[in-house]
Structures are given as structure tokens and as C-alpha cells.
Amino acid sequence: MSRLWGNLYLAYRAIAVRPIKAALGRDGGIERFHENYRPEGLIPTTPKDRAMLAAAGRCISCGLCDAFDGNFSKLDRSLYDGASLLPRQWSRSSVDLPHARRALARLRPAELRRAQAVCPTGVPLVELAHWLRDRARRLPTP
Amino acid sequence: MPTEGGLRTDVLVLGGGMAGTVAALAARRRGAHVTLVRRSYGATALSSGALDVAPDPLATPQRPRGQELSIEACIHHLAALRPDHPYAILQDELGRIPEVLAFAEEAIDGVRFVSPLEPSRGLATPVGTLKFSAGALDSVIGGDLVRSEERIGVVGFRHHLEYDAELWARLLTEACAEAGLVRTFLPVACDFLSREDDVLLRPFEIAQRIDDEPGAFVSSLGRALPSGVQRLLLPPVLSRGEPDTVLRLIEDRLFLPATESLATRLSVLGLRLQRFLDAALEREGVDVVEGEVRAGADRDLDTLALRSARPRSPPRQAFLPGAEPRGEDEEEAPIRAGAVVLATGKYLAGGLAKNGCLFEPSMRLPVTLPGRRCSSSYGLTSHELVGEQPFFAAGVRVDSRLHPLDEGGRVVDERLFACGDLLAGHDPAGDGTAMGVAVFTGYLAGRWAALAAAEGTSFSGEGG
């Protein structure tokens, strides 16, 4: 019986309430949803994001890229801890990404390219840095 | 070598790790023009510096030294126990092991093997365990803990989180005791790293620091040295290049012989080994090209093409055996080679790929798991992923001349050879034969490929 009432209520919401709300311009569930989560650093993942995440997922944490990354010695250790941070940390957590903005802005592509060239699994570090910069821009400042 | 019309060579080697390098050097010694194509660094650049050839068949965690059989005996035991292992497939060639190891020592700087008639050496790791290995880098192999009864000073850095001399000495004492050895390790905690932010330095950064200030490093060792030390065991961070300078300085100033331990992750020794391989290739006149090679759908060697050395871009989805995406901007150059050696490694270096099923991407060769052909990677359910890992021993099946076999067990091409980690039945991470198989099969594949190329047409124009 409760199942029947449940289904009837869902039908009422779908057939009556939602069209009326939409007609009155008061339907904004998805926007409200995003507004709630954006301050926490949780933003929508686009197909391009997914592709980059898959590429970052190829990292096996071997650390070879760090040994060839010239940015490593040029930036302060508290700001940047090597190219492997890109696939291992910043790609995985957009919550932490706003904190990486300063480092991302200072990374030199030429240095990253050297690190990328020795990656055994072909993680595209330069593309990853561009994408992370773009994603960081989409996030609110903490 | 690459020309406008493509790449022409007698022997084409795919893969630049230990197996590919040894194959290229062996083919070059036979007079062939050799081109080595590699995508990037692979498993060799991550190696610990140990060059293990065959484990003692009676070694267990409780009895790590086993019966201390000779390396040669261990190889024959393994070949008898594991009929799918490359040593078993190449049974008729096992008598050439001494020749092969001698060749590797002579051709590649910094690589040392003990005599095949002797047992493996017990070498220290930075995590305080013993690793038994038939060979290692020059700066490591002298640190055998089984045969040495000296009082060993174990060097650590006082201001570093990883290299703790006290802890390392205690763990090594325990590890030796488990192996039935009574050894004395004295901690030598030097103050070479004294800056506040030195605690988190990576191994290659410490190596760079020692390269920059070898004198200061040796002085710090002298200050920390307790009395009674007869030999020093150092962390594997002596140099990004050649550690001889530091080792000589220690001997001159402190009057002590010194060796490095094997390395763990972020291996300076692995990078050093890769540099030794690169130097050997250059010295012998092997052309090295960065890129990837793919054959047409019919596995015909005449359809091989070299792709530009671009990093693979996302998405990586359609890496299917028959339907690989070819970007419009991707440059391709045809290859004409008298013989081809596949030394592309297993998963790490891209020798094996997975997309629904396992496959070998260069030639689209079938991949077998020990005892069966792999038709689906999803068949490897959890019950198979405990104990021995069949996935790690997956690879390309070959005959006794290292020719890859097709689905029906027929030789794909008389001019095609495979070696190293790519071979089926060989688990480089687990069976204790990683570098031994790489050197042995690489040597044979290189020589046989040079022979096959000489029997055919010389494609380089240099003569076979």
C-alpha cells in the first residue's frame, strides 16, 4: 500500500508540480545542487575531465619524472614537490586544487616536457598541467 | 637509420631496457647495423641495482640462503621445475650462460656478475633485508654480507627521515640472524644533511648534493665514524653519475672500503644503470630513436611503421588489437628491417596492453598466461589473484629460437624475435630471474637476429 502511495506521489510531482514550477521559472534544482557543492571544491566532471583523469590514472608513482623535472629545484618545496604531484594528488582531489594554483602558475612547460619524456607509462604531464590550471580556475578561491 | 623515406636497418630492436640493449649490442658485435627504438624509460630505470639471474630453489623466507647452490645449478633447477619459463624453452642454450654474463660485463660499464659456478651474493637493501643476487652494479656487488665477516659501519643521515643508521643497523642484524649469519653492524649517523628542509630530500637530490660536495660528505662520515669499523655500507645515493670518485675518496681519507646497498623506490641505481646502457649503445654505434613502432593488421614485418615520439594523449580508449586510432597529425615513417627483436617489456613499458583482453601492441601477437591462452583479462577473478600471479607471467610465447608463435603455435616470422620481460612464463617481479632472462634472451635474440638479417638482404646498405 505504501508503495502505491509513493508511486502516486512521484507521479504527482512529475506531472503536476514540476511543469508548473518550470512554467513559473522556479525550477533550479541542478543549480542549487552545484551551488551547495561548489564551495567544497566539488564541481561537475566533464568528458574532457574524465579523459584527463584516465590519463593521470596511468601514473604508477615511480618518481622518475621528479628526477628529471627542473621545476622541482626552482620552486619552494612547500609549494611544489615534483611533477608526480600532478597525476598523484592534484588530479585526484579538486578539493585541494585551489591550494595548487600558485604552483601551477609557475610551472614551466619545457621542464615538464623533460619529465614527461621519461615517464614509463606515458602520463601527459604538460597537458595535465594545462587542464589542472583550467580546472583550478573553475573552482572558488578558498 | 631514419631517412626521408623511412627507417632502414639490418636489425631493429624495440625497447631500450636491459634486454633490448643487450640484444642491440649483441647484434652490433655480429656486424649488423642496428637501430633501437624506444618509447621512454621502462622497468630497467626503476631497478634496484640487483641483477638477479636465478633464485636458489630451496630458499624460503625462513631459510633465505637456501642450499647456496651455484647460479648455474639454480638455473638448471628452475628450467626443470618450470617448463614454461624461458630458461626451460632455451634449455639447449643454457651452457652459454657464462659467455652471456661475460659479454654483458664487458659491453656495459658498471655491471658485474659473480661466476656462474658460485652462489648468489647476499646484498643489503635500504629497508634492512637481504636480497640474494648473482650480479649488481659495480658499487654494490662487493657488499656481500654472507662472505664478509667484517664489522660493517652502516651509514645514515641524521637529518633525514628515510636513512636512519640506527634502525638500518638493527634491521640488518636481524635479517642476517634469520639467514643464520652473525654479523656486526655499527650505526654511522653522519651530519652531511643538516639544513632544516633536508629531512624530505629525495634520493636523487641527496645524490646530487654528494656529487656537488663529495669532500664534505666524506668529512661528515669521518666525524661520525665509531671505532672498530672495517667496512662501510652506504645508502644507494652516492652519485647520479659515477660513484667511483666518492668511493675512492672514502678509501683515501678514511682507509675503508665502501659499497652501496641496493635501492628501493626512486632508485638512483636504476637511473645509473639506464645511463650505463645508453652509454654502451652510443659507444657501440647503435642508432637510438625515440618513438613507437606498430605493424599492420597482418603482422607483416614489411608493414612496420615508426610513429613520432609523442606522449600518448588521452583518451587512451581505443587501443584495440585491430582498431587502433591513428591521429591525423601523427607522423609515420615506414621501416625496412632485416630482422626485428621485440624487447618491449611487460605492462610497465607498454610491451603488453589490456583492453578487454591482453595483447601485444607492436605486432598484435597473441598473449598467453602460463598454461593457457588469454582471451579475456576479466577471466582473472580474485581466486586467481592470490598466491602466484598468473597475470605477471603473461607474455608472448616463443619457440627455442625465440621466434614468437601465433595462435596456432606457428612461428609468426623467421625474422622476428622476442626477449626479456615480454616472454610468457616469466614473472620479472616474482621469479627472481628478471635481469638474467633479460641478458640471456637479449643476447641470443640479438645474435640470431643479426644472423637472420645477414641471410636476407642488408637493408642498411652497410652489409650484413
Rounded CA gap, B391 and B382, in Å? 12
What integer best gives the mean pLDDT of chain A?
Answer: 89
Rounded CA gap, B332 and B335, in Å? 9
Asked if B202's CB is within 8 angstroms of A64's CB, the reply is no
- Show the 3-state SS of B176-199: HHHCCCCCCEEEEEECCCCCHHHH
Tell me the mean pLDDT in the region A109-126.
Answer: 91
DSSP labels, B23-41: HHHHHHHTT--EEEEESS-
**Identity of the amino acid at B181:** L
Partners of residue A108 on adjacent β-strands: none
pLDDT at B324: 37
pLDDT digits (tens), chain B, 464 positions: 555 567 899 999 999 999 999 999 999 999 999 999 998 888 899 999 999 999 998 888 778 888 899 999 999 999 999 999 999 999 999 999 999 999 999 999 999 999 999 999 999 999 999 999 999 999 999 999 998 888 999 999 998 988 999 999 999 999 999 988 999 999 999 999 988 888 888 999 999 999 999 999 999 999 999 999 999 999 999 998 889 999 999 999 999 999 999 998 889 999 999 999 999 999 999 999 988 898 887 888 888 888 765 443 433 332 233 333 344 445 688 899 999 999 999 988 888 887 777 889 888 898 887 655 555 444 444 444 445 677 888 999 999 999 999 989 999 999 999 999 999 999 988 888 999 999 999 999 999 999 999 987 555 544 43
Tell me the mean pLDDT in the region A37-59.
Answer: 89
DSSP labels, B191-248: -S--SGGGGG--HHHHHHHHHH-HHHHHHHHHHHPPTT--EEEE-S-S-SS-THHHHH
Residue A27 pLDDT exceeds 70 = no
Residue of A nearest to B265 (CA): A62
Grid cell listed for B233: 655500507
Q: Distances from the Cα of A40 to the Cαs of A91, A102, A131, B278, B375, in angstroms?
A: 16, 19, 20, 48, 44
Residue of A nearest to B17 (CA): A120
Contacts of B271 in chain A (CB under 8 A): 64, 67
The DSSP 8-state label assigned to residue A92 in this structure reads T
Residue A50 pLDDT exceeds 60 = yes
pLDDT at B63: 83
User: Quick check: A62 contacting B, CB < 8 Å?
Assistant: yes
**From the candidates A78, A121, A125, A131, which should be mutated to test the interface with B, based on the most B CB atoms within 10 A?**
A121
ipTM above 0.85, yes or no: no
Strands B332-342 and B416-418: parallel
Q: Distances from the Cα of A49 to the Cαs of A54, A116, B231, B370, B436, in angstroms?
A: 9, 19, 54, 38, 42
